[in-house]
């Protein structure tokens, strides 16, 4: 079940996705955080923030809508309190960062460079760009690329950078290309899908902010499609595949599409031990198909003639 995150070897490929396990502490009463492949923190900004007004969660038949926003303690408190806690419990910490300007992302990267024990940085690009009337960085390849370049320029070279992409674009491969071109070591996909629910009882939007991000089983086919397209275009670029993973079989599907690591998000909200369970189930799934290791299944759905399969064969 071993997997790689940059130069680091992980015990398994299953990661707690950003925002669904806080800074990891919240999981500890249910599971041993050292046994999760890695914990991706809630996205951290430079300053503490309270997030969006309530209600900010709404359930749908097969997913969750959230408009929690970027609630968090800010980088100082994260570095003083949360990161040391994760490390002292033997967890591997992937730090998700979020900014309102390209400069803020660079500042966060510089702060993380000075910290010990950061296994990787995940750049949350689904944040409103204050300099472009709140348009999300993730929606434009050039803007997304400029964020990645700013992070790469300020971050220690031995810390890998994953750019987390939004599925709410016409051409996710173009955004992926800009991020890889700007120095991303890997990609993380997908973030939530923009959605909305209206409460017929009140005849008003269910969320205070009207729109929110849809996550959970409903978005898994979107995640599989995005991972497939990006893996096909960039064989060899590591992908954290996230979106609607609830079982080991779901994780296997994203690995087959080309992800090499798996993020579990919404499933944690109703089953805090979901990461450990998915690891167990994935192990059973791999055994059932006769795969000796996770690497045996990565990208296998692309077939012998796909670009991904050819790229993997060349590297073998």
Ligand X SMILES: Cc1cc2nc3c(=O)[nH]c(=O)nc-3n(C[C@H](O)[C@H](O)[C@H](O)COP(=O)(O)O)c2cc1C
Nearer to ligand X, 195 or 311 (CB): 195
* Residues in region 171-190 near ligand X by CB under 6 A: none
Out of 12, 107, 119, 124, point to the residue binding ligand X (CB under 6 A).
Answer: 124
In the complex, the smallest distance separating the C-beta of residue 237 from ligand X, rounded to whole angstroms, is 18
In the complex, the smallest distance separating the C-beta of residue 105 from ligand X, rounded to whole angstroms, is 13
Nearer to ligand X, 43 or 107 (CB): 43
Out of 3, 5, 10, 17, point to the residue binding ligand X (CB under 6 A).
Answer: 17
* Residues in region 132-161 near ligand X by CB under 6 A: none
Out of 3, 10, 18, 36, point to the residue binding ligand X (CB under 6 A).
Answer: 18
Nearer to ligand X, 41 or 300 (CB): 41
> Total residues at the site for ligand X (CB under 6 A)?
25
In the complex, the smallest distance separating the C-beta of residue 181 from ligand X, rounded to whole angstroms, is 21
C-alpha atoms less than 13 angstroms from C-alpha of 182 in its C-beta half-sphere: 25
In the complex, the smallest distance separating the C-beta of residue 54 from ligand X, rounded to whole angstroms, is 13
127 is annotated as an active-site residue? yes
Interface with ligand X, residue 28, by CB under 6 A: no
Tell which residue, 165, 225, 208, 171, has the closest CA to residue 65: 208
Nearer to ligand X, 155 or 251 (CB): 251
Out of 215, 260, 276, 300, point to the residue binding ligand X (CB under 6 A).
Answer: 215
In the complex, the smallest distance separating the C-beta of residue 139 from ligand X, rounded to whole angstroms, is 15
Q: By CB under 6 A, which span of 29-37, 153-161, 236-244, 284-292 interacts with ligand X? A: 236-244
Q: By CB under 6 A, which span of 15-23, 29-37, 229-237, 290-298 interacts with ligand X? A: 15-23
Query: For residue 291, what are the contacts with CB-CB under 8 A and spacing of at least 6?
Result: 297
Nearer to ligand X, 96 or 143 (CB): 96
- CB contact burial 54-84 (16+ within 10 A = b; e otherwise): eebebebeebbbbbbbbebbebeebbeebbe
In the complex, the smallest distance separating the C-beta of residue 201 from ligand X, rounded to whole angstroms, is 23
Name the active-site residue from 127, 179, 226, 275. Answer: 127
* Residues in region 46-105 near ligand X by CB under 6 A: 64, 66, 68, 96
* Residues in region 240-299 near ligand X by CB under 6 A: 242-245, 264-267
Q: Looking at the chain, how many residues does it have?
A: 316
Distance CA 180, CA 230 (A): 11
Active site residues: 127
Q: Where along the sequence are the contacts to ligand X (CB under 6 A)?
A: 17-20, 42-43, 64, 66, 68, 96, 124, 164, 191-192, 215-216, 219, 242-245, 264-267
């Amino acid at each position: 079940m071993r997997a790689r995150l940059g130069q680091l070897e992980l015990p398994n490929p299953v990661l707690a996705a950003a925002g669904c396990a806080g800074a990891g502490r919240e999981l500890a009463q249910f599971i041993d955080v050292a046994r999760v492949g890695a914990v991706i923190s809630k996205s951290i900004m430079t300053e503490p923030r309270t997030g969006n007004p309530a209600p900010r969660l709404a359930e749908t038949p097969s997913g969750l809508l959230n408009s929690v926003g970027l609630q968090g303690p800010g980088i100082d408190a994260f570095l003083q309190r949360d990161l040391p806690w994760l490390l002292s419990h033997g967890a591997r910490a992937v730090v998700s960062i979020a900014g309102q300007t390209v400069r803020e992302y660079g500042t966060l990267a510089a702060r993380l460079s000075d910290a010990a024990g950061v296994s990787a940085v995940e750049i949350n690009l689904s944040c409103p760009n204050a300099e472009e009337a709140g348009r999300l960085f993730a929606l434009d390849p050039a803007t997304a690329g400029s964020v990645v370049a700013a992070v790469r320029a300020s971050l220690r070279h031995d810390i890998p950078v994953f750019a987390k992409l939004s599925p709410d674009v016409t051409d996710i491969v173009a955004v992926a290309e800009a991020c890889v071109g700007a120095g991303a070591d890997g990609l993380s996909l997908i973030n939530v899908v923009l959605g909305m629910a209206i409460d017929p009882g009140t005849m008003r939007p269910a969320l205070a902010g009207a729109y929110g991000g849809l996550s959970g089983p409903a978005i898994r086919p979107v995640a599989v499609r995005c991972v497939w397209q990006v893996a096909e275009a960039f064989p060899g670029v590591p992908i954290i595949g996230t979106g609607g993973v609830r079982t080991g079989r779901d994780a296997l599907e994203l690995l087959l599409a080309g992800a090499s690591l798996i993020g579990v998000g919404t499933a944690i909200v109703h089953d805090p031990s979901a990461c450990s369970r998915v690891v167990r189930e994935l192990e059973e799934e791999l055994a059932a198909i006769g795969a000796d290791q996770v690497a045996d299944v990565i990208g296998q759905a692309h077939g012998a003639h796909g670009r991904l399969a050819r790229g993997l064969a060349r590297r073998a």
